[in-house]
Amino acid sequence: MSQTSDIAKALKQMSDAYVEAITTVSRAVADAVKRGGEKEAPRVEYWLRLARMGKDGFVTAVEQGFEMWEREMRRTLSKVASEVETEKAARETRPPSALDSFIENWNEASKTFLDTVGSSDLGKEARKQAEQFASTMRDGFKAWQKMWSQSKE
């Protein structure tokens, strides 16, 4: 049952990362509005887009984590079958990882945003918030990638 506790830890890590990222976006949007009002609307929209992508990645990770957990529970219940047959069935039912594709898109979008923030007149604080947001979400995604790759072995 070690894998189920690893899944729970990864879920918690991703949840914490998501909450921290949303908090960072909230601060960044509030700061942008304070600094520039309506002229910051395009940048605020981009922050919201990144937050939505983060949410989508979070949901994908939770769905994938649940699938891993459910497979592990079914594997535990099917101890009657031989280990070879159980592993073969697990390999046949394992879906491909949608999270890897999402993470690739996420990294591209956050890099573009960081480049935009870096070349704007928003200042160091906005850049710091953008980097913190991207880093937090990347860390959460890495936890899921690790769990997913371990479940394939």
Check residue 115 and give its pLDDT: 75
Buried/exposed code over 97-126 (b: 16+ C-beta within 10 A; e: otherwise): bebeebbeebeebbeebeeebeeeebeeeb
16 CB-near residues (< 8 Å, 6+ apart): 140
Closest residue by Cα to residue 113 from 64, 57, 45: 45
DSSP three-state, residue 61: helix
pLDDT at 93 over 70: no
Structural domain span for residue 58 = 2-152
- Taking the model in full, what pTM does it have? 0.55
At 148, the pLDDT band (50, 70, 90 cuts) reads low
State mean pLDDT over 55-78: 85
Please answer whether residues 126 and 32 qualify as being in contact, where contact means their C-beta atoms are separated by less than 8 angstroms.
Answer: yes
State mean pLDDT over 82-108: 66
Provide the CA 40 distance to its chain's centre, in angstroms.
26
Please answer whether residues 107 and 138 qualify as being in contact, where contact means their C-beta atoms are separated by less than 8 angstroms.
Answer: yes
pLDDT digits (tens, 9 = 90+) for 102-133: 777 777 877 777 777 666 666 677 777 777 77
Query: How many domains in the chain?
Result: 1
